[in-house]
Amino acid sequence: MSHATTEDTGTSDLTAAQPVAPKKKAALSEGKKAERRLGWLLCAPAALTMIAVTGWPILYSILLSMQRFDLKFPDRTEWIWFDNYVTVLSSPYWWDAVWVTVLLTVVTVAVELVLGMALALIMHRALVGRGIVRTTSLIPYGIVTVVAAFSWRFAWTPGTGYLSEALGSEPVLTEKIPALMVVGLAEIWKTTPFMALLLMAGLALVPDDLLKAAAMDGASAWQRFIKITVPIMKPAILVALLFRTLDAFRIFDNLFVLTAGSQGTSSVSMLTYNNLIKGLNLGIGSTMSVLIFLMVALIAFVFIKLFGTAAPGSDDGGKR
C-alpha cells in the first residue's frame, strides 16, 4: 500500500517501463522486499520442479556410474569407482556410436542450415502464398517424430514402399551407410522447418532500407545476402545452430524406428537406452549418461564462447 501511494506522487509516465520505482528511501526498501518475495514466490514452483527432476538425478547418475549395478544380478552390486568408465571408453561399440552421432549431427545440421536458410527466405520474402508455405512447413515441425519415422520406414520397405518401388527394391535399411542416410533424411525433413523459423526471426531484424540502399549501389542479391543479411543475422544463426546441434546430438526416435540401432547405426542415446532398458545395466547406462552429458556440455561451451554476449542466457530478462 505504502509504495502505491509513493508512486502516485512520485513517478511520471516516462519511467513506466521500469518495475516499481518509488522515490522515498524507506518505501523503496519495503517495496523492494515485497517485490523480491513475490519474485521468489512466483518462480518457486518452476525452479523446484526443474531442480527436483534434474538436480538430484544428475548427482544420482554420477553415483550409479561408479557402481557395478546390473538389475539382472542385483546382489553383485558394488562400488567400483571408474571401472565402468574404463569399460565404456575402451568399448568399440561406444566409439562407433559416438562417431555415428557426430557424423549424423554434423551432416544433418549443415544440410538443415542451408535448406533452412532457403526456406526462411521463401517464408520471409514470398510474394504469394506466404500463409500456405508457413502453414505446411509447420507440419514437419509438429508431427510426432515416431509417426514421421514410420512413414519413412514404410516408404523404404521393399514391396510396401513407394520409394523402394521407385528406386529399385534394394533394402536400404539393412546396411549401415544407406540406413544412416535414410535416418539423416528423416531427421532433416523433420527439423528443417524449425531451423527455418529461427532463421526467419533473424531475417526480420534485417532492415529493408539497408538492402534497398545496397541494391541502389549495385550490390547483387548474393552480395547483399553475404555482406548485409548474414552479419546482421549472425546471432540468430548461432542460436539456431546451437539448438539444432544439441537436439541432433540426442537423436533417438528416428533411429529407434528406422534401424533400432542394428548394423552399427546406434547413436549414443540408442546405445544408452539399449544398455539401460534392454540390458538393465544401470551402472554402464549411467556411465554413458554422464559421458553424453559431458559431451553436450562441451558443445554448449564452445557455442557460448562463439556467441559472446549474444548468448540467450546473458540477456538479463526484465531490463529492456
Site for other proteins in 153-192 (CB under 8 A): 154-155, 157, 159-162, 164-165, 189
Burial class from Cβ neighbours inside 10 Å (0-12, 13-18, 19+) for residue 229 reads buried
Q: Let me know: does 206 contact 232? Beta carbons within 8 Å.
A: yes
Q: Which is nearer to other proteins, 226 or 294 (CB)?
A: 294
> Which span sits near other proteins by CB under 8 A: 74-82, 84-92, 151-159, 216-224?
151-159
Among 89, 103, 146, 226, binds other proteins (CB under 8 A): 146
Phi-psi bin for 83: left (phi > 0), alpha (psi -120 to 50), beta? alpha
Minimal distance, residue 218 CB to other proteins, in Å: 18
Contacts 24+ apart (CB under 8 A), 143-150: 143/190, 145/190, 145/253, 145/254, 146/253, 146/256, 146/257, 148/186, 148/189, 148/190, 148/254, 149/186, 149/253, 149/254, 149/256, 149/257, 149/258, 150/257
Minimal distance, residue 214 CB to other proteins, in Å: 19
113 binds other proteins (CB under 8 A): no
Among 126, 167, 302, 306, binds other proteins (CB under 8 A): 126
Amino acid at position 78, single letter: E
Site for other proteins in 289-308 (CB under 8 A): 289-290, 292-293, 295-296, 300
Beta strands in the chain (DSSP E): 67-68, 78-79
Q: Which is nearer to other proteins, 84 or 179 (CB)?
A: 84
Q: Which is nearer to other proteins, 227 or 278 (CB)?
A: 278
> Which span sits near other proteins by CB under 8 A: 73-81, 206-214, 221-229, 234-242?
234-242
Site for other proteins in 255-274 (CB under 8 A): 256-257, 268-269, 272-273
